[in-house]
Chains A and B, each alone.
Chain A
């Protein structure tokens, strides 16, 4: 039997670790490195019943949802501008410019946001100099807001690119046809551009939502107590609290929730992009 190297590679790096996590989630930890390997569902019962884990899961969903919303809403006009407002020969330059933030390490970008949003940061000092505020604003850093701002900035290019590609694929004569049939610019956008850009928007939503819900670095560095997310709790269970099976159970649950949401969006996406009429 021939198994391709790719399949072996995927098996070793994806399937085995995933299987291990699922397996561990049914164990019980008895010491620093000792496990009771009797299969038990106790970890899942605890993960689902303890209000702390539930609260963290909901907060993660809320933050990831908010990040996705902010990112996609901000990305759409940029993608639209590059696709419709920039001359054809300058489009690649614009896309290139959009990716420039990636040249800096993600960690450094997170720290830079700390500098910008901090108590004596660029933003607060700036507003003080201008006389807009007397006291520094404190709702910016070490809470959910800072996590949303930082993640939205970090993931913006990932959202811009699929939307841009979807907009580029729209035959421009379709927009002229809509105008010709009596619609103004706004209605043309709503009836033609937006439905045809839907696959790109769905892709952007998934690309932003899936990684952000499990993001660990940003909440750790600038989230503060109010910005802690489920990934931070999973890390704490594995390393600090010596309860790998509970951490694994939380990880599996988070994965399941993300999968359900992702599949829902995919179904929504294929329905939006496919024609509504029945094929014969």
Chain B
């Protein structure tokens, strides 16, 4: 996975798009239920969720292709209710790319410049510049139908960006590409977004894609936003079991909670007792039965002679999946029937353990998340 760190970027906080309690029905079907969300200027924002969760509908609402039953969409503090799609400061990269088949690449890219006050030469220069920006320099004269999938996508990007919109909307733009191409385009999209500084809103069902590219992610289920946070918080501190399950791999173990001198203590099956900090569980979680989640990489298998830095638990390896750089172990902890998954980076000179080996596991309380 190619990862460009977004940590050192200045997080923009000025709201550009404000969505206020948006609801939309198709007959009995609730496509959007009370969406309230701010998207900031210059942000790379992702709407993530399974198919049918309403993420594309929400994107089309912002673009002006879909009306809403109630609520309001504001762009730059201006209510968009009576502004049609062709008058909005948004441009879209469609899932099918929607390249006009009867026009050349240059005519496609320059499609939106008809009403511009630029001279013909300026328009041509703008088209050439836009094509260069997406890495298609010199492709202007080509027929649109003679392009590959990746090239069509670049044309769609150039065509949208040439109009310098306030917001660029991307509807699953990478889903039609093969894996290698997709990873390359992810990096290019991030680079492009930094270069132009325009707010990007990406719709995707691919959690990895969202984590790689976004400043912030809104996870949607059934027309509602389940959680909206930056990628790291979303991954480390999911607010619900469903979000935790949707993003990456999460192990779940049953636990019982009790309060001791103001701190919450979780007695986790197979692991033992752990102090739970405020950000690791929902506020006001009741004592008693609960569920504890942790990511596979937060646990470490201990080899002979190693001691746990924090806490230790015992188990037996029940499955080994070897990935080359990584090995995934399913470990059955003492007293728990369902194995937990642990991922280990393969280090030179260290053997991969075998099924049936007894093992010790190192874990720390800070990596746990508690769900009611």
Interface residues of A (CB under 8 A from B): 171, 173-174, 176-184, 187, 191-192, 195-196, 272-280
Contacts and interface: CB of A to CB of B under 8 A. Distances in A.
A171 B141 contact: no
A202 to B, nearest CB: 14
A174 B142 contact: no
Contacts of B115: 182
A196 B143 CA distance: 15
Nearest to A273: B102
Contacts of A173: 94-96, 98
A187 B112 CA distance: 11
Nearest to A280: B142
A274 B104 CA distance: 10
A276 B96 CA distance: 21
B106 A277 contact: yes
B93 to A, nearest CB: 9
A272 B146 CA distance: 17
B102 A182 contact: no
B145 to A, nearest CB: 6
Contacts of B216: none
29 contacts: A171-B98, A173-B94, A173-B98, A176-B65, A176-B94, A177-B94, A177-B100, A178-B111, A179-B65, A180-B86, A180-B92, A181-B112, A181-B159, A182-B112, A183-B86, A191-B111, A192-B100, A195-B102, A196-B101, A275-B104, A276-B102, A276-B104, A277-B103, A277-B105, A277-B106, A277-B144, A278-B142, A279-B142, A279-B143
A9 B201 CA distance: 63
B117 to A, nearest CB: 13
Interface in B217-232: none
A184 B143 contact: no
B85 A275 contact: no
A177 B99 CA distance: 8
B91 interface: yes
Contacts of A196: 101-102
Interface in B4-46: none
B350 interface: no
B85 A277 contact: no
Contacts of B141: 277-278, 280
Chain B CB within 10 A, most for which of A179, A191, A192: A179
B317 interface: no
Contacts of A180: 63, 65, 85-86, 90-92, 160
B163 interface: yes
Give chain B's interface residue range (CB within 8 Å of chain A): 35 or more
Contacts of B106: 277
A181 B111 contact: yes
B163 A277 contact: no
Contacts of A272: 102
B119 to A, nearest CB: 18
A189 to B, nearest CB: 13
A278 B104 CA distance: 8
A275 B145 contact: yes
Given A171-B96, A177-B98, A276 B103 contact: yes
B107 A181 contact: no
Contacts of B85: 176, 179-180
Given A174-B100, A180-B92, A181-B159, A275 B112 contact: no
B260 interface: no
A212 B57 CA distance: 50
Contact of A275 (B91, B101, B111, B114): B101
Contacts of A273: 102
Nearest to A170: B101
Contact of A277 (B65, B91, B114, B143): B143
Contacts of A275: 101-104, 143-146
Contacts of B143: 274-279
A90 to B, nearest CB: 17
Given A184-B86, A196-B101, A279 B146 contact: yes
